[in-house]
Structure 1
Amino acid sequence: MSLEESGQTVALEIRDAIAIITLDRPDAQNAFNTAMRNDLLQAIRSVEDAKAIRAVILTGRGRNFSAGADLIDRHRQDPSVERMLNEEYGPILLAIMRSDKPWIGAINGAAAGIGSSFMLACDLSIMGESAFLYQAFAAIGLIPDGGASWHLVRTLGFQHAFETAIRGERISAEQCLTLGLTNRVVPDAQLLDRSLALAGELAAKAPLAISRAKAALRFAADHPIEELMPLEARLQQLCADSEDFKEGIAAFRSKRIPHFKGL
């Protein structure tokens, strides 16, 4: 998928240094089928290869961000849930988390099932006021997957994460904000504009510092401080040796806005 091209199930739009990836199966509530998994992975690869892109927004067309997995498609194509999670969903979700670029989830309506995992995989998220996160797995005899357990226990602690997993209740946007599961809640009509504003703010910052801060914090989630501090020092040295650092210092001294190039 080339930049600013639409697949059958995913649309990719470029606005200056910002990529907007839109899940585009509105008639199916953006439920993930085989085609959408493939199209989304191709969109991610296109964005990752484009050095001019400095921030990415992931959202859904229509009423919902994503209703989760397309269960009918799953059983028709391949009954192996384990294979699908390891070989199809896993690479997509990890690509988002390991990306050098910041990812913003713009969450409209339901982020349910595996859809909630995509919301949680993003580095930041903004929810429309009527949006909600729904761990729908318990209702059909399943457990959270796609890394949702990892995100929930680190954000909520074991007891709240366990309750969320087994009760399977909807968590409103305001509740998500209180629990630390999202960064902001905005009026539904302002969701994309506010997400673009945040993405623009990130795109104006030093790309190397953004990517290395993300790498350090992702590493910090499951490593002891004795291992984190040497990584921080190495990443800080790389930042200090960059042209962007020199530009930042020069801009500070001149009292002007810095112009970072990612070099």
Structure 2
Amino acid sequence: MSTYQTVMVERHDAVALVSLNRPEALNSFDAELRRELLLAAREVNNDDSVRVVVLTGAGRGFSAGADLKEMPLDDATWRVDDQINLEYKPILMEIDNAPKPWISAVRGPAAGIGSALAMACDLTVMSEDAYIFQAFSAIGLVPDGGATWQLVRVLGRKRAYEIIATGEKLSAQKCLEWGLCNRVVGTESLLDETLEWAGQLAARAPLSLRYAKRSVARACEGGFAETISDEAEWQRLCVASEDALEGASAFLEKRKPVWKGR
């Protein structure tokens, strides 16, 4: 694994742990963190020996969002839409298009673009002290990084708008009840429990995880008939794979399968 200044990448067998590493700034995003997180995401996504990725933040928070001290508002040539489209969007799409599941492990605040990053992951584990925060209306801005899309898809239009307009801090327990996270665990055990769950997922068939991820994403947007056809195509790919043969053999021989991801 490569070495970065603002990101840490660690291996735990078939699981990669990617940590935002600006704890002194609550992992708020500056130019270096944006650049290095994209490189780290590409690195773990391109590594076939990595089956699952866990994304977290070092220190007491996941991410406070964009580093407002870095925004050159007095520079007439600077455009925030360029920064979102050219720097943040590639990171978010790297997670969304990844051929493996990403799990966000959220402690403390996941605010602004940090919340968008946490919600972009396929699964989310939150510690008891964690919360998702859309602080934009208090500073004259609007959500970005696809946060609006995530909130509307999970919560519906009216509840999503309420959260954005009021700037309510969504506690971990409320996120669990509303479907914005999968599990809530103790603060001190967040990483241990998330890595354990990631390890369990890493033991599953890689192609199954890959195509199920695509199928779920497509089903959220497509119609019933279209989804059936999509599932049929991905099932065809899985049935023709070496892993499907290995899975059947292992079942009949009562042993653990050895997956190859092909």
TM-score for the superposition, normalised by structure 1: 0.96
Give CA deviations for 1:84-143 in whole Å, capped at 9, x if unaligned: 111111111011011001000010110001000011000001001101110111111111
Aligned partner of 2:204: which letter?
K
In 2, Cα distance between equivalents of 1:27 and 1:88: 22
Correspondent of 1:13 among 10, 13, 23: 10
- Secondary structure of the residue that 2:170 maps to in structure 1? strand
In 2, Cα distance between equivalents of 1:137 and 1:183: 25
Residue of structure 2 equivalent to 1:119 = 118
1:232, distance to aligned residue in structure 2 (A): 1.0
1:205, distance to aligned residue in structure 2 (A): 0.5
Residue of structure 2 equivalent to 1:210 = 209
Residue of structure 2 equivalent to 1:141 = 140
In 1, Cα distance between equivalents of 2:155 and 2:146: 14
1:213, distance to aligned residue in structure 2 (A): 0.4
Residue of structure 2 equivalent to 1:242 = 241
Aligned partner of 2:107: which letter?
N
In 1, Cα distance between equivalents of 2:66 and 2:80: 11
Residue of structure 2 equivalent to 1:48 = 45
- Secondary structure of the residue that 2:188 maps to in structure 1? helix
Residue of structure 1 equivalent to 2:92 = 93
1:224, distance to aligned residue in structure 2 (A): 1.7
Residue of structure 2 equivalent to 1:151 = 150
In 1, Cα distance between equivalents of 2:188 and 2:96: 28
Matches within 5 A, 1:195-206: 195-206=194-205
Give CA deviations for 1:212-235 in whole Å, capped at 9, x if unaligned: 000111112212223222111110
- Residue 23 of structure 1 pairs with residue 20 of structure 2: yes
Aligned partner of 2:4: which letter?
G
Residue of structure 2 equivalent to 1:35 = 32
In 2, Cα distance between equivalents of 1:187 and 1:106: 12
Residue of structure 1 equivalent to 2:72 = 75
Choose 21-30 or 79-88, whichever is displaced more. 79-88
Unmatched runs of 5 consecutive residues or more in structure 2: none
Residue of structure 1 equivalent to 2:60 = 63
Give CA deviations for 1:168-221 in whole Å, capped at 9, x if unaligned: 110110010000000000001110111111110111000011000001111122
In 2, Cα distance between equivalents of 1:139 and 1:101: 36
In 2, Cα distance between equivalents of 1:131 and 1:167: 19
Choose 221-230 or 29-38, whichever is displaced more. 221-230
Give CA deviations for 1:223-256 in whole Å, capped at 9, x if unaligned: 2223222111110000001111111111222222
- Secondary structure of the residue that 1:8 maps to in structure 2? coil
In 1, Cα distance between equivalents of 2:234 and 2:18: 29
Aligned residues: percent identity?
48
Unmatched runs of 5 consecutive residues or more in structure 1: none
Aligned partner of 1:50: which letter?
D
In 2, Cα distance between equivalents of 1:176 and 1:256: 38
In 2, Cα distance between equivalents of 1:236 and 1:184: 29
In 1, Cα distance between equivalents of 2:39 and 2:155: 32
Aligned partner of 1:152: which letter?
L
Q: Give the aligned CA root-mean-square deviation in angstroms.
A: 1.2
Residue of structure 2 equivalent to 1:231 = 230
Aligned partner of 2:177: which letter?
T
In 1, Cα distance between equivalents of 2:225 and 2:71: 43
